[in-house]
Amino acid sequence: MTTVIDSNLKNRALFLYQDSRSARTERGQRTLRSLWSMPNEKFQWSSDTTTPPRGLVETVLSTRPPPLFLEWDAQAVTIDGNRIVVNRRFLDHPQPMVMLSLQLAHEGVHVWKYDQPDVEQELHAHRNEIDYYRELRGGVLREPQEAQELAMRRIDRGTLVDHYVQKFHRADGVVPIDGRWVLRHIRFWGGISRRETETKIAYLSVLREDWSDLPANEARAVVLELAESFDRRPPMSSGAAEWLRDAFGGGTADQQQRLRRLGDRWHVNLDPSRR
């Protein structure tokens, strides 16, 4: 059973966030409005420190590898009406109110972005949290926090998206990314050259699955650039070579020539004229 967070503690945590610079941004303002609009009984401590709350996130964590961050901290569960469940281990933290404030800055983003793909939600939520953490780390928060330091390094390197694409790619119970999302975001966060191998494989997989619904010329250009970014042949699912040959049958002469050269490098037939 979860327990309701003491309203005085919750309000102090929200006022602390409200006084921060990060809360004055458009994203911060929307997060604050969402949090203040929620009834107090919707802010809850977890029943224990190891089991995430029942709902959407429980499915994800039970069917995927362990998450990037060391322990689950808090979850916004929106399938039963908005509520935020925070790991009760923060009650034992030397600064429980400050840590609660930090978790609410993250989870409040999910409350108003619940209808967006989970990858996008997490990127916005973590950026909001880490912007706020940088402020707290410079004064109010006495000790650095390992999970936030790790997220901060990922953000600074532009690789936080890689973790979440790999975590949520076609996972059960979450809003997945799709081919149009890949096309819209392929140049973000440093572009293809900054993406990890597993992320690029996930992107190609999504583009293949959604191929018939995508603008062909734009999709071919992105697929070719992704494929050419591998130093060696990546793990390819059954039928991938045939899909590439078919997909580029209507491509330009230059694209077809580049695909043939890629096939020579990978030692696989990628010649569109030899389907």
Tell me the pLDDT tens digit for each residue of 25-65: 999 999 999 999 999 999 998 877 665 554 433 333 333 33
Which residue, 128, 150, 156, is CA-closest to 70?
150
Amino acid present at 231: D
Average pLDDT of span 190-209: 93
Would you state the pLDDT for residue 171?
60
Tell me the pLDDT tens digit for each residue of 140-172: 999 998 888 988 998 998 888 998 888 776 665
Q: To the nearest whole number, what is the mean pLDDT of the chain?
A: 84
Would you state the pLDDT for residue 166?
83
Would you state the pLDDT for residue 257?
95
Strand partners, 3: 45
Q: Which two three-digit tokens encode residue 251? A: 């491509």
Where does the pLDDT of residue 131 fall: very low under 50, low under 70, confident under 90, or very high at 90 and above?
very high
Which position has the token pair 């990037």? 68
Would you state the pLDDT for residue 56?
35
> Percent of the chain at pLDDT above 70?
84
Q: Which two three-digit tokens encode residue 252? A: 């330009």
What are the domain boundaries of the chain? 1-159, 178-275
Burial tier of 53 (Cβ tally within 10 Å: 0-12, 13-18, 19+) = buried
d(CA 245, CA 256): 9
Average pLDDT of span 186-206: 93
Q: Which two three-digit tokens encode residue 44? A: 């809850």
d(CA 98, CA 80): 27
Q: Please, which contacts does 151-156 make with residues 24 or more away whose CB atoms are closer than 8 Å?
A: 151/68, 151/69, 151/126, 154/68, 155/126, 155/127, 155/130
Tell me the pLDDT tens digit for each residue of 55-105: 433 333 333 333 333 345 555 554 345 788 888 888 888 999 999 999 999
Round to the nearest angstrom and report the end-to-end CA distance of the chain: 60
Which residue, 112, 107, 91, 111, is CA-closest to 45?
91
The 3-class SS string of 92-125 reads: HCCCHHHHHHHHHHHHHHHHHCCCCCHHHHHHHH
- The Cβ of residue 86 has, within 10 Å, a number of other Cβ atoms equal to 26
Q: How many residues does the chain have?
A: 275
The 3-class SS string of 63-82 reads: HCCCCCCCCCCEEEECECEC
Which helix (H) or strand (E) is 45 found in, with range?
strand 43-45
Average pLDDT of span 204-228: 95
Would you state the pLDDT for residue 174?
62
> Percent of the chain at pLDDT above 90?
55
Report yes or no: 100 and 145 within 8 Å, Cβ to Cβ.
no
